[in-house]
Chain A
Amino acid sequence: MLSLRQRAWISGGLSALVSMAVGILLLYSFLNQRESDRFDRALTERHTQAVVALSYAADDPARLAELLFDPQYQTPFSGRYWQVTSPKGQVFASGSLLGASLPGGNRAAASLVLQDAANPDVDEVRIAAQRITLEDGNAWVVAVAESLAQLKADRRDLRQSLGAAFALVAVIGLASVLFQTAAIVRPLNRLRRDVARRWDRDEALSAAEYPEEVAPLVGDINTLLERNREIVSRSRRQAADLAHALKTPSAILRNELSVLADGKQDMGKALDALDRVDAQLARSLARLRTANTGEAAQAKTDLSRSVQRFQRLFGMMAEREGKTLSVACEPGLVVRMDAQDIEEVLGNLLDNALKWCRARLSLEVRRAKGGIEVIVEDDGPGIPAADRAEAVRSGARLDTSKPGTGLGLAIASDLLQAYGAGMVLEDSPGLGGLAVRITLPSRGVRGPKKG
Chain B
Amino acid sequence: MRILLAEDELVLCDQIKKLLVAEGRIVDIANDGQEACFLGTTEPYDMIILDLGLPVRDGLSVLREWRSAGVATPVLILTARDGWSDRVDGLDAGADDYLTKPFHLPELAARVRATLRRSSGRSNPLFQLGGVAFDTRHGRATLDGVPVDLTSQEVAVLSYLIHNSGRLISRTELSEHIYEYDGDRDSNTIAVFINRLRKKLGPELIQTVRGRGYMIDAA
Residues of chain A at the chain B interface (Cβ within 8 Å):
240, 243-244, 246-248, 250-256, 258-259, 274, 278, 282, 285, 309-310, 312-313, 316, 320, 339-340, 343-344, 346-348, 351
Query: Given the complex of chains A and B, what is the CA–CA distance between A310 and B118 in angstroms?
Result: 21
Please state if B91 and A312 are interface contacts (CB–CB under 8 Å): yes
- Residues of B with C-beta under 8 A to A278: 102
Q: Interface of chain B, helix or strand or loop or mixed?
A: helix
| In the bound complex, CA of A282 to CA of B83 (Å) | 11
> Given the complex, which residues of B lie within 8 Å of A248, measured CB to CB?
9, 12, 80, 101-102
**Contact, CB under 8 Å: B15 / A255:** yes
Q: Which of B83-99 contact A (CB under 8 A)?
A: 83-85, 87-88, 91-92
Residues of B within 8 A of A312 (CB): 88, 91-92
Name the B residues within 8 Å of A258 (CB-CB). 104-106
What are 20 pairs between A and B in contact, CB < 8 Å? A246-B80, A248-B12, A248-B80, A251-B12, A251-B102, A252-B12, A253-B102, A254-B102, A255-B15, A258-B104, A258-B105, A313-B87, A313-B88, A316-B91, A320-B118, A339-B85, A344-B85, A347-B84, A347-B88, A351-B84
A235 and B85 alpha carbons, distance in the complex (Å): 17
Q: A247-B80, A248-B9, A344-B85 are in contact. Are A254 and B91 (CB under 8 A)?
A: no
Q: Are A244 and B81 in contact (CB under 8 A)?
A: yes
B91 → A minimal CB distance (Å) = 5
Instruction: Verify A343–B88 contact, CB threshold 8 A.
Output: yes
Residues of B within 8 Å of A320, CB to CB, are 114, 118
Contacts A312-B88, A343-B85 given; indicate if A243 touches B15 (C-beta within 8 A): no
Task: Label chain A's interface by main secondary structure.
Answer: helix
Residues in chain B within 8 A of chain A (CB atoms): 9, 11-12, 15, 53, 80-85, 87-88, 91-92, 100-106, 114, 118
Q: Which residue of B lies closest to A275 (CB)?
A: B102
Are A252 and B84 in contact, with the CB atoms below 8 A? Answer: no
Which residue in chain A gives the minimum CB-CB distance to B88? A309
B92 touches A247 (CB 8 A): no
CA distance A433 to B180 in the complex (A): 50
Indicate if the CB atoms of A310 and B88 lie closer than 8 Å.
yes
B84 contacts across to A, CB distance below 8 A: 310, 343-344, 346-348, 351
Q: How far is the CB of B80 from chain A (nearest CB, A)?
A: 4
Q: Are A252 and B91 in contact (CB under 8 A)?
A: no
Give the Cβ gap from B94 to chain A, nearest Cβ, in Å. 12
Interface centre among A253, A282, A343, A351 (most CB of B within 10 A): A343
Question: Residues of A contacting B9 with CB < 8 Å?
Answer: 248, 252
Q: Which residues of A contact B88 (CB under 8 A)?
A: 309-310, 312-313, 343, 347
Contact B92 A244 (CB under 8 A): no
Contact of A313 among B91, B100, B114 (CB under 8 A): B91
Task: Give Cα distance in the complex from A244 to B81, angstroms.
Answer: 7
**Contact partner of B12 among A246, A255, A285, A313, CB < 8 A?**
A255
Q: Report the bound CA distance from A309 to B101 in whole Å.
A: 22
Given contacts A310-B84, A312-B92, 18 further A-B contacts (CB under 8 A): A243-B80, A246-B80, A248-B12, A250-B101, A251-B101, A252-B9, A252-B12, A254-B102, A258-B105, A259-B15, A309-B88, A313-B87, A313-B88, A313-B91, A340-B83, A344-B84, A347-B84, A348-B84
